[in-house]
Structure 1
């Protein structure tokens, strides 16, 4: 039964992480950050880092993988937003 929930967690992590990547790709391609809210992405990034810490504490592979990728992606968007004001 535990393996079932681990698969559910991995699937959830995959879907939520994949859903974020098109925004990162579009921003990388166009360098257009006018539609991005800096405040929202800073708060989002901090929340993701806290989820990552919690995932590490729980030793949850799905939480660690998803939140590491999303933290890096959101940090990239923050840097792009600051660079291309």
Structure 2
């Protein structure tokens, strides 16, 4: 039987994918707040640690999938912010 946790992880992860794919495709992060995305990254990372601590695969799997999209988007955003600050 599938747990409620796995179903919840599926929906929250899948809901994030279309926007993440669009951002990765266009590389446009102008609508993303860097501080929010850093906090999002830290929060998802801590959920993974917590899921490992309590041995809850739903938490670990769901948040690990989201993290795979967060990292490249965060990288693109940091590069964009850094490029804005470089005087030409």
Tell whether the structures are fold-level matches, with TM greater than 0.5. yes
Root-mean-square deviation (CA, aligned residues, Å) is 1.3
Structure number with greater Rg is: 2
Structure 1 unaligned residues grouped into runs of 5+:
none
Paired position in structure 2 for 1:7:
3
Q: How far 1:84 sits from its partner (Å)?
A: 3.0
Q: How far 1:54 sits from its partner (Å)?
A: 0.5
8 Å CA contact 1:13–1:66 kept in 2: the answer is yes
Paired position in structure 2 for 1:45:
41
Greater fraction helix: 1
Figure out how many residues of one structure are paired with residues of the other and give that number. Answer: 81
Instruction: List structure 1 runs of 4+ shifted beyond 2 angstroms.
Output: none
Q: How far 1:50 sits from its partner (Å)?
A: 0.7
Structure 2 unaligned residues grouped into runs of 5+:
82-88
Aligned ranges 1:74-85 → 2 under 5 Å: 74-85=70-81
Q: What is the rounded CA distance, in whole Å, between the counterparts of 2:22 and 2:56 in structure 1? A: 30
Aligned ranges 1:58-69 → 2 under 5 Å: 58-69=54-65
